[in-house]
Structure 1
């Protein structure tokens, strides 16, 4: 089930829960609600308690079980940081998170090596023309990543 737009942190968590069910993954969620609890505050002033729309800012940290080790930090500002086996993908649009997780757990994500410039890249293709790539630093290729080399 695709979500055309995930307007809130709560709807993103619900969509991630669906992906976890699809792939039979355990999931734990930690919610931080309120300006004093969220890690970044760009949507409202420094001492503001509410966001401009009158809502409390809501951030969620999600850990998914299974391999690879995946965590998702959903921010109030419509984006997320997804960490796959210690490799961070920052600034992933909130709407793209379910497709990103399906790509990782569905076997589409893969590791590509290049001689020049040298290095390994974790490549996460999404439907359409969206692709995320992060450089895997030397020596940090996890066992799961090693199994995804193409």
Structure 2
């Protein structure tokens, strides 16, 4: 699977829509457009749409139905925060979002527990030796996380 270049937030949303349609998942999208609307521009004055460089920032929040519960916040800075059953993956490159979702929904994502350091981790492998791993903070695993466990 080749990594797709997604130059804009809208291109990433369209790629997520395609995956949702393919997997027959419902999707909801909320767009925030303008410097005074996006979450990382908290210092922007009210009613300020453009960044100082003249660009119009676009951020989107996407929720996918089904198991696992997945949401994606796409930022104007070419990265995303993906949440899978309550586990947050920060700073995922926007271009990696489709491969990340395909890995999660394709059964490649696993949970792994360790005695030292103690904890459970959600591991999402992507093509090309790229892997994301995050600590599962909640000690009570969701049914999907429990099914994904590997020892």
Whether the aligned pair in 2 keeps the contact of 1:111 and 1:145 (CA below 8 Å) is: yes
Counterpart position of 2:90: 90
Q: Which runs of 4+ in 1 moved over 4 A?
A: 45-48
Whether the aligned pair in 1 keeps the contact of 2:121 and 2:134 (CA below 8 Å) is: yes
Residues 137 and 6 (structure 1), Cα distance of their counterparts in 2 relative to 1, 3 Å cut:
same
Structure 1 alignment gaps of length 5 or more: none
Separation of aligned partners in 2, 1:113 and 1:3: 29
Separation of aligned partners in 1, 2:89 and 2:58: 20
Counterpart position of 2:114: 114
Whether the aligned pair in 1 keeps the contact of 2:73 and 2:81 (CA below 8 Å) is: yes
Separation of aligned partners in 1, 2:136 and 2:75: 24
Q: Between 7-16 and 46-55, report the one with greater CA deviation.
A: 46-55
Whether the aligned pair in 1 keeps the contact of 2:3 and 2:99 (CA below 8 Å) is: no
Whether the aligned pair in 2 keeps the contact of 1:99 and 1:127 (CA below 8 Å) is: yes
Q: Could you tell me the TM-score, scaled by structure 1's length? A: 0.91
Counterpart position of 1:59: 59
Cα-Cα RMSD? 1.8
Whether the aligned pair in 2 keeps the contact of 1:60 and 1:75 (CA below 8 Å) is: yes
Structure 2 alignment gaps of length 5 or more: none
Cα shift at 1:138: 4.7
Separation of aligned partners in 2, 1:138 and 1:61: 23
Separation of aligned partners in 1, 2:3 and 2:11: 9
Separation of aligned partners in 2, 1:140 and 1:51: 42
Separation of aligned partners in 2, 1:3 and 1:115: 35
Separation of aligned partners in 2, 1:148 and 1:78: 29
Q: Could you tell me the TM-score, scaled by structure 2's length? A: 0.90
Cα shift at 1:49: 3.5
